[in-house]
Amino acid sequence: MDPDEMLVPLNVFDEPETFRPPPPPPTCRIYVREPSAVQGGEPAQLRLNLVGGHSLWAHHLWNAGLSMARYLDRHKSLVAGKTTLELGAAAGTPSLIAAINGAACTVITDYPDQPLLDNIEKNVDENAGEAKQAGRVHTVGYKWGDDVTPLLALLPKTSPSPGFDHIFMADLIFNHSEHKHMLQTCAASLAPGGRVFTTFTHHIVKWAWRNDRFWDVATRLGFVYVQIAEEQWEPMFPEDPGSEAVRGTVHCFVLMRKDEAPADFFDGAVPYVRNAPPEGMEVMSDSGNSSESDAA
């Protein structure tokens, strides 16, 4: 046999071009604001760019984010002149609305992955460019539970308190193992008397009780909470099992530190029924322990 015939081609183990599908391309969605919310020269709609695909689900435009944005548009005084921080922002819709409505400082964060941050920057440039040029909007990578000093450093030097007036969390509580880290960040970065706004949907009905354990962690970390609004949307994932009414409901809650909540904090509360685990199930913590003490 010719020795050359024994040589293995260098590309024998190369994958053919069709072996793996290419990543999906980026997409764009248009969010139309309610006409009554648009003032002066404000944009009547937002052009929201989304990454093509991501393991952290940032390629979706979440109902909960749109619902929060609409709530902020309907209550402009909540953010005008205030400082805001968004966690797990994805498209950053609530923060864009906050900036448009005159927030003094808007800090938009997501996991420190450059494509995610570049996409947020693009959305800021296209929808809140003037606020960015005025130094009122910042985009930064941040991992929940990490030191918040870099976030607080972005607050205006004239800010009356070392913390954010409002924190936004849109559809994050399905990350069950991260409840403690999210809330630790909130506790460390919230200004005295500040509020955390969180919107969410029970996308997977059978795990609704696990979503609701977020409230147990919040209580242990010194927060009180109340549901202030509830909206019905089309389910994000129509093909999934479970009640469409449950999978299409967006819940909006506000949290405050218990010792700072005003006497009327619970006034006008929208009733919410906690979801219990299936009967007979041994409840384990999301860290794999049967005890929840690690959340304290």
CATH number of the domain to which 77 belongs: 3.40.50.150
- The residue range of the domain holding 71 is 10-261
Inside any domain, residue 65: yes
Residue that is written with structure tokens 């199930």 in the block: 281
CA distance 72 to 69: 5
Count of structural domains within the chain: 1
The predicted structure's pLDDT at residue 56: 57
In the predicted structure, residue 295 carries a pLDDT above the cut 50? no
Q: In what order do the strands lie in the sheet with 249-257?
A: 137-141, 105-110, 83-87, 164-170, 190-200, 249-257, 223-232
pLDDT in tens, 156-166: 999 888 999 99
pLDDT in tens, 34-82: 999 999 999 999 999 998 765 555 678 999 999 999 999 999 999 999 9
Residue that is written with structure tokens 């015939």 in the block: 5
Closest CA to 98 of 15, 24, 167: 167
Inside any domain, residue 284: no
Closest CA to 284 of 220, 204, 210: 210
CA distance 62 to 89: 10
CA distance 87 to 31: 20
In the predicted structure, residue 5 carries a pLDDT above the cut 60? no
Strand pairing report for 137-141 and 223-232: unpaired
State the average pLDDT for the chain. 90
* pTM for this entry: 0.88
Phi, psi dihedrals of residue 133, rounded to the nearest 5°: -65, -30
Strand pairing report for 45-50 and 27-32: antiparallel
Helices 213-220, 179-189: inter-axial angle, 10-degree rounding: 40
Inside any domain, residue 294: no
Inside any domain, residue 285: no
Share of the chain above pLDDT 70, in %: 84
In the predicted structure, residue 141 carries a pLDDT above the cut 50? yes
The predicted structure's pLDDT at residue 161: 85
The predicted structure's pLDDT at residue 255: 99
The predicted structure's pLDDT at residue 293: 38
More confident residue, 293 or 74: 74
Burial 255-266 (b: 16+ CB within 10 A, else e): bbbeebbeeebe
CA distance 135 to 129: 10
pLDDT class for 288, splitting at 50, 70, 90?
very low
Phi, psi dihedrals of residue 62, rounded to the nearest 5°: -80, 135
Average pLDDT over residues 103-127: 97
In the predicted structure, residue 4 carries a pLDDT above the cut 90? no
pLDDT in tens, 59-72: 789 999 999 999 99
Inside any domain, residue 110: yes
Average pLDDT over residues 199-225: 98
Inside any domain, residue 120: yes
Are the C-beta atoms of residues 248 and 233 closer than 8 Å to each other? yes
Average pLDDT over residues 97-125: 97
The predicted structure's pLDDT at residue 260: 98
Average pLDDT over residues 220-241: 96
CA distance 277 to 167: 29
Inside any domain, residue 288: no
Inside any domain, residue 248: yes
